[in-house]
Structure 1
Amino acid sequence: MNQDLQHSLRLRVEQTLQESQTPGATIAIYINGQPFLEMGVGDQDPNHQVPLPSDANFYIYSITKSLLATAALNLVKEGQLDLDASVQPYLPNFSLDAPITLRQLLSHTSGLPDYGEVRAYFDALQATPSSPWSTQTFLNLAQTQGLQFTPGTGWAYSNIGYLLLRFVLEAVTNLPIHQYLHNVIFSPLSLKKTFVPGTLDDVRELTPGYSTFFSGDELQDVIRFYHPGWVSHGVVVSTAPELAKIIDALFAGSLLNASLVEQMLHPIHILGNEHPLFHTIGYGLGLFLGIDSPYGTVGGHTGAGPGYSVAAFHFPSLVENRMTLVALANRDRHDLDLALKIIFRMVRTLERFADAL
Structure 2
Amino acid sequence: MDTIRMHQEIFKIVRPYLNNRDHLTLSIGIVNKNETATFLYNGSNSQSIEEQKPLIYEIGSISKVFTTTLLGEMIQNGALSADNSIGQYFPTLSHDHPITLKHLANHTSGIPAICIWKSIVNRLRSDTPRDPYCLFSLSEAVQFYNKHPKEPKFKFRYSNAGMGLLGNILANQLHTDYGTAVKETITNPLEMVDTSIKVPSSKQNRLLQGFDVKGREQPPLLMNEFMGAGAIRSTVDDLLKFINAHMDRRNEGYQLTQQPTVKIDRNTQVGLGWMLENDMVWHNGATQGFSSFLGFDMERQLGVVVLSNYRSRLFANNPDQIGTDLLKLLRTGEY
On whether the aligned pair clears a TM of 0.5, the verdict is yes
Residue 85 of structure 1 pairs with residue 84 of structure 2: yes
1:166 shift after superposition: 1.5
Q: 2:215 aligns with which of 216, 219, 225?
A: 219
Relative distance call for 1:200 and 1:330 in structure 2 (3 A) is same
Tell me what 2:280 maps to. Answer: 298
Instruction: Point out the structure with the larger strand share.
Output: 1
- The residue type equivalent to 2:40 in the other structure is G
Residue 283 of structure 1 pairs with residue 306 of structure 2: no
Aligned partners of 1:202, 1:137: CA distance in 2, in Å?
Answer: 32
Tell me what 2:210 maps to. Answer: 209
Relative distance call for 1:108 and 1:334 in structure 2 (3 A) is farther
Aligned partners of 2:203, 2:114: CA distance in 1, in Å?
Answer: 25
Residue 189 of structure 1 pairs with residue 197 of structure 2: no
Tell me what 1:277 maps to. Answer: none
Tell me what 2:320 maps to. Answer: 340
Q: Which moved more, 1:7-16 or 1:61-70?
A: 7-16
Q: Deviations over 1:67-87 (max 9, x none)?
A: 111111111111110111212
Tell me what 1:229 maps to. Answer: 224
Tell me what 1:24 maps to. Answer: 25
Q: Deviations over 1:19-55 (max 9, x none)?
A: 88882311101122432x1011114xx7xx9989572
Partner SS for 1:79: coil
Tell me what 2:330 maps to. Answer: 350
- The residue type equivalent to 2:315 in the other structure is L
Tell me what 2:243 maps to. Answer: 247
Retained in 2: the 8 A contact 1:269–1:283?
Answer: yes
Partner SS for 2:264: strand
Relative distance call for 1:228 and 1:302 in structure 2 (3 A) is same
Retained in 1: the 8 A contact 2:29–2:240?
Answer: yes
Relative distance call for 1:32 and 1:104 in structure 2 (3 A) is same
Retained in 2: the 8 A contact 1:104–1:152?
Answer: no
Aligned partners of 1:10, 1:122: CA distance in 2, in Å?
Answer: 43
Relative distance call for 1:137 and 1:116 in structure 2 (3 A) is closer
Q: Which moved more, 1:174-183 or 1:107-116?
A: 107-116
Partner SS for 2:184: helix
The number of equivalent residue pairs is 324
- The residue type equivalent to 1:229 in the other structure is N
Partner SS for 1:336: coil
Retained in 2: the 8 A contact 1:97–1:147?
Answer: no
Tell me what 1:330 maps to. Answer: 309
Query: What TM-score, normalized to structure 2?
Result: 0.82
Runs of 5+ unmatched residues, structure 1: 213-217, 274-279
Q: Deviations over 1:321-344 (max 9, x none)?
A: 411111011211150371111112
Counterparts of 1:252-263 in structure 2 under 5 Å? 252-253=248-249, 256-257=251-252, 260-263=253-256
Aligned partners of 2:202, 2:170: CA distance in 1, in Å?
Answer: 25
Q: Deviations over 1:158-197 (max 9, x none)?
A: 1111122122112211011111111111111112211122
Tell me what 2:58 maps to. Answer: 59
Query: What TM-score, normalized to structure 1?
Result: 0.77
Aligned partners of 2:17, 2:282: CA distance in 1, in Å?
Answer: 21
- The residue type equivalent to 2:39 in the other structure is M
Aligned partners of 1:242, 1:268: CA distance in 2, in Å?
Answer: 27
Counterparts of 1:66-105 in structure 2 under 5 Å? 66-92=65-91, 98-105=97-104
Aligned partners of 2:135, 2:265: CA distance in 1, in Å?
Answer: 34
Residue 107 of structure 1 pairs with residue 106 of structure 2: yes
- The residue type equivalent to 2:233 in the other structure is V
Q: Which moved more, 1:96-105 or 1:14-23?
A: 14-23
Aligned partners of 1:120, 1:235: CA distance in 2, in Å?
Answer: 25
- The residue type equivalent to 1:227 in the other structure is L
Relative distance call for 1:157 and 1:240 in structure 2 (3 A) is same
Retained in 2: the 8 A contact 1:138–1:232?
Answer: no
Tell me what 1:34 maps to. Answer: 35
Relative distance call for 1:4 and 1:51 in structure 2 (3 A) is closer
CA root-mean-square deviation: 3.7
Relative distance call for 1:133 and 1:62 in structure 2 (3 A) is closer
Partner SS for 1:39: strand
Aligned partners of 1:345, 1:136: CA distance in 2, in Å?
Answer: 33
Relative distance call for 1:192 and 1:153 in structure 2 (3 A) is closer
Identity among equivalent positions (%) equals 20
